[in-house]
Amino acid sequence: MPSTKRVALVTCRAFPGLDAYDAVLVPRLEALGAEVTAAIWDDRAVDWDQFDLAIVRSTWDYAARRDDFLAWAAGVPRLANPFAVLRWNTDKHYLKDLERRGVAIVPTTWLEPGAGLDARGLHTRMPALGDFVLKPAIGAGAVGAGRYTANDSYLRGRAIVYALRLLAEGKTVMLQRYLPAVDTLGEVSMVFLDGRYAYAVRKEAMLHGPESGGDRLYEAEKLQGGYSPAPAELRLGTEAVAAAMDALGNPARPFLYARADVVPGADGHPVLLELELTEPALFPELAPGGIDLVCRAIMGRLNPV
Ligand SMILES: Nc1ncnc2c1ncn2[C@@H]1O[C@H](COP(=O)(O)OP(=O)(O)O)[C@@H](O)[C@H]1O
Ligand SMILES: [Mg+2]
């Protein structure tokens, strides 16, 4: 009988009992022989050495405290995904690394703090027509993302005020055209386990207006259910995962989990919105066999190869 392996599913104070999409994994992991604990990342009472594997899951409060989060991650001996991956992936500047490697990312104008951008400069950078999106480069759960209409002077003014505020706080602002196909076709999330495509789901558009502030940790995602990606979508997701491995110096082990979120771009070809390697909801019960696939990938990490 092999000794029982201890697994931590890492969460945050707001979700001490795990998110529903992770809670469904617990009975299956236990049936496969693991002992599972929900552990809060910034709970100082947790001894991370005791776990054979700690898996980052619903740590959705990290964006406002990224330095603390990364300092914590650096100190956990067996963490998935590991510190170097989290450091790279918690700032959406990683999209530039993917773009340099040929991945079709959502076209983005990067407004950097310290570049001397004032209201006038922002005004000229924003599109003249159509809807556009502003979001901070460090952010999760759609918090801080807003949708604005270019030729509505009130909304345009709000966008400028919001961008100025983020820049004054030292934050990079990402400016993108709103991709309208999200409203009709939705956003596709492809889940990769151990570097290989496992399953996909589709979710509805999430941005309906300007950034509204407040202290929520995430916007609830409306899932449409399991989905079979088109060849071009699957190719893009696969390329994104490979490019991320390359950007990280091709680590010895593939990512335990990766979620490639893609939407149809202006010309209909899919573009990458994000490659989530930090704390993506994996939606395992929405795909046939999803729970088993995720749990088996986790168990595969517990027995040394
Ligand atoms: N350019 C865009 N066009 C249309 N919808 C967008 C765009 N950027 C973001 N969104 C919507 O906002 C949500 C959150 O943005 P995202 O880039 O995924 O950041 P995060 O999930 O890390 O907060 C997306 O799931 C999508 O619904
Ligand atoms: Mg997202």
Q: Which residues of 269-300 are buried (b: 16+ CB within 10 A; e: fewer)?
A: ebbbbbbbbbbbbbbbebbeebbebbbbbbbe
Which ligand gives the minimal distance to the CA of 135?
Answer: 1
- In this structure, the chain runs to a length of 305
Average pLDDT of the chain, as a whole number = 95
* Spatial CA neighbour of 278 closest among 165, 174, 141: 141
**Ligand 1 atom closest to Cα of 276?**
22
Instruction: Name the strand (E) or helix (H) holding 165.
Output: helix 153-168
Question: Is 303's pLDDT higher than 90?
Answer: no
Question: Is 3's pLDDT higher than 90?
Answer: no
Same domain, 126 and 233: no
Which ligand gives the minimal distance to the CA of 273?
Answer: 1
pLDDT digits (tens, 9 = 90+) for 179-197: 999 999 999 999 999 999 9
pLDDT band at 28 (very low <50, low <70, confident <90, very high): very high
Confirm whether 298 is domain-assigned: no
At 221 the pLDDT is 84
Same domain, 135 and 70: no
At 110 the pLDDT is 98
Question: Is 214's pLDDT higher than 90?
Answer: no
pLDDT digits (tens, 9 = 90+) for 252-296: 999 999 999 999 998 999 999 999 999 999 999 999 999 999 999
The arithmetic mean of pLDDT across residues 20-46, rounded, is 97
In the numeric block, which tokens belong to residue 268? Answer: 């209909």
At 141 the pLDDT is 81
Number of domains in the chain: 3
Same domain, 140 and 186: no
Instruction: Name the strand (E) or helix (H) holding 35.
Output: strand 34-40
Confirm whether 293 is domain-assigned: no
Confirm whether 24 is domain-assigned: yes
* Cβ atoms of 38 and 9 closer than 8 Å: yes
* Cβ atoms of 57 and 22 closer than 8 Å: yes
At 304 the pLDDT is 62
Which ligand gives the minimal distance to the CA of 127?
Answer: 1
Whole-angstrom CA distances from 146 to 135, 213, 265 are: 6, 10, 18
Whole-angstrom CA distances from 205 to 38, 181, 217 are: 30, 9, 18
At 87 the pLDDT is 98
The arithmetic mean of pLDDT across residues 240-256, rounded, is 98
Q: Which residue's C-alpha comes closest to atom 25 of ligand 1?
A: 206
pLDDT digits (tens, 9 = 90+) for 42-67: 999 999 999 999 999 999 999 999 99
Q: Which residue's C-alpha comes closest to atom 19 of ligand 1?
A: 142
Over its C-alpha atoms, the chain yields an Rg (Å, rounded) of 20
Ligand 1 geometric centre to CA of 49 (Å): 36
Domain span at residue 40? 5-89
Same domain, 193 and 246: yes
List all residues 6 or more positions away from 204 whose beta carbon is below 8 Å from its beta carbon.
186, 187, 221, 222, 223, 224
Same domain, 98 and 116: no
Question: Is 229's pLDDT higher than 90?
Answer: yes
Q: Which residue's C-alpha comes closest to atom 15 of ligand 1?
A: 142
Same domain, 61 and 98: no
Confirm whether 150 is domain-assigned: yes
Same domain, 99 and 241: yes
Same domain, 173 and 184: no
Ligand 1 geometric centre to CA of 273 (Å): 7
At 53 the pLDDT is 98
Same domain, 204 and 279: yes
- Rounded to two decimals, the pTM is 0.96
Ligand 1 geometric centre to CA of 142 (Å): 6
- Where does a domain end: 153, 177, 201? 177
Same domain, 59 and 184: no
**Ligand 1 atom closest to Cα of 180?**
4
At 168 the pLDDT is 96
Residue holding tokens 């496992």?
A: 198
CA distance 41 to 13: 8
CA distance 233 to 236: 5
Confirm whether 101 is domain-assigned: yes
Three-state DSSP state, 304: coil
Ligand 1 pocket: which of 60, 89, 106, 133 to mutate (most atoms <8 Å of CB)? 133
Ligand 2 geometric centre to CA of 102 (Å): 21
CA distance 227 to 214: 33
Three-state DSSP state, 214: coil
Same domain, 138 and 187: no
Q: Which residue's C-alpha comes closest to atom 23 of ligand 1?
A: 142
Q: Which residue's C-alpha comes closest to atom 14 of ligand 1?
A: 142
Pocket of ligand 1 (CB under 6 A): 106, 133, 135, 139-142, 145, 176, 178-179, 182, 187, 205-207, 261, 273-274
User: Distance from first CA to last CA of the chain, Å, rounded?
Assistant: 18
Same domain, 200 and 270: yes
Question: Is 1's pLDDT higher than 60?
Answer: no
Question: Is 216's pLDDT higher than 80?
Answer: no
* Cβ atoms of 92 and 150 closer than 8 Å: no
pLDDT digits (tens, 9 = 90+) for 65-113: 999 999 999 999 999 999 999 999 999 999 999 999 999 999 999 999 9
